[in-house]
Chains A and B, each alone.
Chain A
Amino acid sequence: MFSETILLSLREIRRNLMRSSLTILGIVIGVAAVITMVTLGRGATAQVASDITKLGTNLLQVRPGQDRHGPGGTHSTGDMFKAKDAEAIAQEIFGLSAVAPIASQTIQSIYGNENWSTTVTGSTNAYLQVSNWLIESGRQFMESELRAGKAVCILGTTVRDKLFGGQNPIGATIRLGKLSCNVIGVLNSKGQSSFGTDQDDFVLIPLRMLQRRIAGNSDVSRILVSAQDGVSTKKVEQDIQQLMRQRRHILPGKDDDFHVRDMQELVSTMTGTTRVLTGLLGAVAAVSLLVGGIGIMNIMLVSVTERTREIGIRLAIGALERDVLMQFLVEAVVLSSFGGVIGIVLGISAAAVGAIVLAVPFIFDPGIIVIAFVFSAAVGVVFGYFPARQAGQMDPIEALRYE
Chain B
Amino acid sequence: MKTTTSTQTGKHYLIELKGVTKVYGEGPAAMHALQGIDLRIGQGEFVAVMGPSGSGKSTCMNILGCLDTPSSGVHLFEGIDVGKLSRDERALLRRHYLGFVFQGFNLLNRTSALENVELPLIYRGTPAEDRRVRALEALEAVGLTGWETHTPGELSGGQQQRVAIARAIVTNPKVLLADEPTGNLDSARSREIMKVLAAFNSERGITIAMVTHDADIAVYAKRIIRFFDGSIDSEEKKPGTA
**A residues touching B (Cβ–Cβ < 8 Å)?**
1, 4, 15, 309-310, 312-323, 396-397, 400
Contacts and interface: CB of A to CB of B under 8 A. Distances in A.
B199 interface: no
Interface string B30-71: 000000000000000000000000000000001001011000
Interface residues of B, number: 27
Contacts of A15: 110
B132 interface: no
Contacts of A310: 108-109
B102 A318 contact: no
A397 B68 contact: yes
B86 to A, nearest CB: 10
Nearest to A3: B128
B198 interface: no
Contacts of B87: 321
Nearest to B167: A317
Contact of B123 (A309, A312, A317, A396): A317
Contacts of B99: 317
Nearest to B97: A318
B88 A321 contact: yes
A323 B109 CA distance: 20
B123 A400 contact: no
Contacts of B65: 316
A318 B124 contact: yes
Contacts of A309: 106
A314 B67 contact: no
A317 B168 CA distance: 8
B141 interface: no
A307 B95 CA distance: 21
Contacts of A1: 122, 125
B139 to A, nearest CB: 16
B137 to A, nearest CB: 18
B92 A400 contact: no
B88 A312 contact: no
Given A314-B123, A321-B87, 14 more contacts: A1-B125, A15-B110, A313-B108, A314-B119, A315-B91, A316-B94, A316-B106, A317-B120, A318-B91, A318-B120, A318-B123, A319-B123, A321-B91, A400-B106
22 contacts: A1-B122, A1-B125, A312-B106, A313-B108, A314-B119, A316-B106, A317-B95, A317-B99, A317-B100, A317-B119, A318-B91, A318-B98, A318-B123, A318-B124, A319-B123, A320-B88, A321-B91, A322-B88, A323-B123, A396-B67, A397-B67, A400-B102
